[in-house]
Structure formats: C-alpha cells, structure tokens
C-alpha cells in the first residue's frame, strides 16, 4: 500500500525539479453546474511534459540504484507517461525505451522522442503493447517502469493532492480523471488522510470503464475493448495496488460520454483559457452534466490532468 508519508516523501523528492501547478478559480464553469458551485481547477496541464505523469516518473527514477539506472528503462504508454519517463530519464541520465501504439497521438510520439527516448511503435491494442514491452525487457535486460502499478509512482501522483490542500485547505469535493488509477489512488490517499470529510469522486469515459468495472467486480478487470477520445484514460486494466487504494479512499466512480468530454473541452478553453486534453476535461464534464453533484456553493476542485492534444485532433473535437 501507499501511505501519506510516502506521498510526503515524494513531495520532498520532486521539490524544485517540477512545476508547482496553480489552483485556478473557474467560477464561470462552476455557475453552470446544477446547483452552482465554487469551482477550482488544478492545472496539471501546465506541468512539465504537459501532464501530471512526470511527478510519479521522477519519484520512481530518483529512487533507482546505480545498477538499475545502468541497465536502462523501458515502459509502455498511450502518451503522457511516455513523455514523463523520457523527460525523467534524461534528467537522471538514464537511457529509456518507450513502446507506444501505432495509433498513438503523433504529437505525443514526437515529444517523447524529443526528450531523448527511443520510441517503438507496435500494434493497436494496449494489452498487446504491454506484452511486447515485457518481451523487450527480457531480451535487452531493461528495467520496466509501470505506468501506474508502482508505489513510488502512485506516491508521486499523490503530490497533486497535497498541493490542492495547501492552496484550498477545505474542499468539499475533489473530482479526478481515472485510467489505470495511479493519479486517483495517489490523490485520494493524500486528500482523505489529511481531510477525511472531503468527498473524492473519480471519472472515466464510457468507452474505457476500467476502474468502475474493477470496483464492481471486487478485483482488477481487463477490458476487451476500448473506444474513447480520451486516450489518456485508456489503460486496459487496473492493478491490485490502485484498486485497493481506490476502494479504500474514493467515494464514487462515474462515467461520461465522449460527447460530454468534447463539450467540456470547449467550455474549458472558452471560459478558463486553458487547453485541456480529453482525459483532463472528463473531470469537468462529470460536474457540468450532473454525473457528480455537490451542495450549492460547495468548494469543488476538478483536476485538469494534462493538455497534450494533437492540433488536427483538436480541430475535429471542437
């Protein structure tokens, strides 16, 4: 498991090396909720590499031994974790290999290469990509860095929750986008351990309900099919670690449609002047559609987890 002390230690590890992203007022969007709320957005889209993922990656890599770093790293990602590992590996002077789908967002592929990682494009299904990455891990003797199933990665993502409470000590509700569960389990651990009365709700796309189905089943469930515009939330499975933390600390899990996500993206751009990728906009979509509700005037935080979206794709979505 991951404890509050693990998250606090991660905060000490990454301090001064990453951005401390702002918590911004989004009252215009909050007024659209029913009933209206005092809305704030945690702007992780302004983080290095454009997403929260670099927090966990840097915390993980900073804790590796010299022997582990010498072996080199390999990971698998739809995009944001790829960039996070590539950037962190460069910062720690470690060679990195990233396996991504052939259909991965081209701007995310280019950014990952730009940070210095070797990118291998393979297949179209995330489950097949994981298998290929583990094959290369064995053949090359590399160290696999999981996208979410690792205590130090979860603890690193949890630092988002610590920063939220530092800027807003008494939130009534925190809404978190969820894929494999690294962000939601880390943030929920930090929030609930420091302020148990805060309600924590996670949001997934209807086309990738990995955590919702795992919660319903009481065990990690692998999805046979994934179909969503929110590529940052397309983990084909969750893990024992992230599921256990989510079951312990998260109050509810809801689903939003791709159309609702796209609508929220446009509203965030218009009203907040922030470019959120589909995965990030899911948190706001849940509030504006009434999938998540809070009392009138409640203090609500929606985490905007990333802003890495291809320009051509953006044109289509908007």
Report the CATH number that the domain containing residue 272 is assigned in CATH.
3.40.50.1100
CB-based contact 24:43 (threshold 8 Å): yes
d(C-alpha 98, C-alpha 133), whole Å: 8
Q: What is the pLDDT of residue 103?
A: 83
Range of the domain at 88: 53-144
Cα separations in angstroms, 232 against 34, 72, 183: 27, 25, 12
193 alpha-carbon distance from chain centroid: 20
d(C-alpha 304, C-alpha 274), whole Å: 9
Tell whether the model's pLDDT for residue 146 goes beyond 90: yes
Q: What is the pLDDT of residue 197?
A: 98
Taking residues 78-93, what's their average pLDDT? 92
- Any catalytic annotation for residue 299? no
Q: What is the pLDDT of residue 129?
A: 85
Tell whether the model's pLDDT for residue 124 goes beyond 80: no
Counting the structural domains of the chain, the total is: 2
Clarify whether residues 63 and 137 are in a common domain.
yes
- Domain boundary (124, 144, 164) is at 144
Query: Annotated catalytic residue: which of 88, 107, 214, 305?
Result: 305
Smallest Cα–Cα separation from 74: which of 7, 147, 21? 147
Q: Percent of the chain, pLDDT > 90?
A: 88
Q: What is the pLDDT of residue 233?
A: 94
Name the token pair of 264: 């929220």
Residues across the chain: 318
- Any catalytic annotation for residue 305? yes
Q: What is the pLDDT of residue 318?
A: 87
74 alpha-carbon distance from chain centroid: 19
pLDDT tens per residue, range 170-224: 999 999 999 999 999 999 999 999 999 999 999 999 999 999 999 999 999 999 8
| Higher-confidence position of 231 and 124 | 231
Q: What is the pLDDT of residue 125?
A: 67
d(C-alpha 134, C-alpha 144), whole Å: 7
d(C-alpha 47, C-alpha 50), whole Å: 5
pTM of the model: 0.95
Clarify whether residues 292 and 170 are in a common domain.
yes
Q: What is the pLDDT of residue 126?
A: 67
Clarify whether residues 38 and 73 are in a common domain.
no
Clarify whether residues 165 and 306 are in a common domain.
yes
Which residues, 6+ apart, have CB-to-CB distance to 120 below 8 Å? 97, 98, 99, 100, 132, 136
Name the token pair of 176: 């978190």
Tell whether the model's pLDDT for residue 114 goes beyond 90: yes
Q: What is the pLDDT of residue 113?
A: 94
Clarify whether residues 127 and 71 are in a common domain.
yes
Clarify whether residues 135 and 241 are in a common domain.
no
The lowest-confidence range among 18-22, 75-79, 186-190, 260-264 is: 75-79
| Average pLDDT over the chain, rounded to an integer | 95
Tell whether the model's pLDDT for residue 267 goes beyond 80: yes
Clarify whether residues 101 and 209 are in a common domain.
no
- Domain boundary (144, 178, 210) is at 144
Clarify whether residues 290 and 158 are in a common domain.
yes
CB-based contact 254:197 (threshold 8 Å): no
Clarify whether residues 123 and 45 are in a common domain.
no
Clarify whether residues 185 and 201 are in a common domain.
yes
CB-based contact 251:200 (threshold 8 Å): yes
Taking residues 152-159, what's their average pLDDT? 98
Query: Annotated catalytic residue: which of 48, 53, 108, 192?
Result: 53
Q: What is the pLDDT of residue 310?
A: 86
């Amino acid at each position: 498991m991951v404890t509050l002390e693990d998250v606090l230690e991660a905060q000490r590890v990454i301090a001064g090396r990453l951005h401390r992203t702002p918590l911004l007022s989004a009252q215009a969007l909050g007024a659209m909720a029913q009933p209206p709320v005092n809305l704030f957005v945690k702007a992780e889209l302004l983080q290095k590499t454009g997403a929260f993922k670099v927090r966990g990656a840097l915390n993980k890599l900073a804790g590796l031994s010299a022997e582990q770093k010498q072996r080199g790293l390999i990971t698998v990602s739809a995009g944001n974790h790829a960039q996070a590992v590539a950037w962190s590996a460069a910062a720690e002077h470690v060679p990195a290999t990233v396996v991504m789908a052939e259909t991965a967002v081209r701007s995310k592929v280019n950014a990952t290469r730009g940070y210095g990682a070797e990118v291998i494009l393979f297949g179209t299904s995330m489950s097949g990509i994981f298998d290929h990455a583990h094959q290369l891990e064995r053949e090359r003797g590399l160290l696999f860095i999981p996208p979410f199933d690792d205590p130090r990665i979860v603890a690193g993502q949890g630092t988002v929750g610590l920063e939220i409470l530092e800027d807003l000590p008494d939130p009534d509700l925190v809404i978190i986008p969820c894929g494999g569960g690294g962000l939601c389990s880390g943030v929920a651990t930090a929030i609930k351990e420091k302020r148990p009365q805060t309600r924590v709700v996670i949001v997934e796309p209807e086309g990738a309900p990995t955590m919702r189905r795992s919660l319903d089943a009481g065990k990690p469930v692998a999805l046979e099919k994934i179909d969503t515009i929110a590529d940052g939330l397309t983990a084909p499975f969750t893990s024992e670690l992230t599921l256990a933390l989510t079951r312990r600390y998260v109050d509810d899990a809801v689903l939003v449609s791709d159309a609702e996500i796209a609508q929220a993206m446009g509203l965030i751009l218009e009203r907040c002047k922030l470019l959120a990728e589909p995965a990030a906009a899911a948190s706001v979509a849940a509030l504006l559609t009434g999938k998540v509700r809070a009392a009138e005037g409640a203090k609500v935080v929606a985490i905007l987890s990333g802003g890495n979206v291809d320009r051509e794709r953006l044109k289509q979505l908007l």
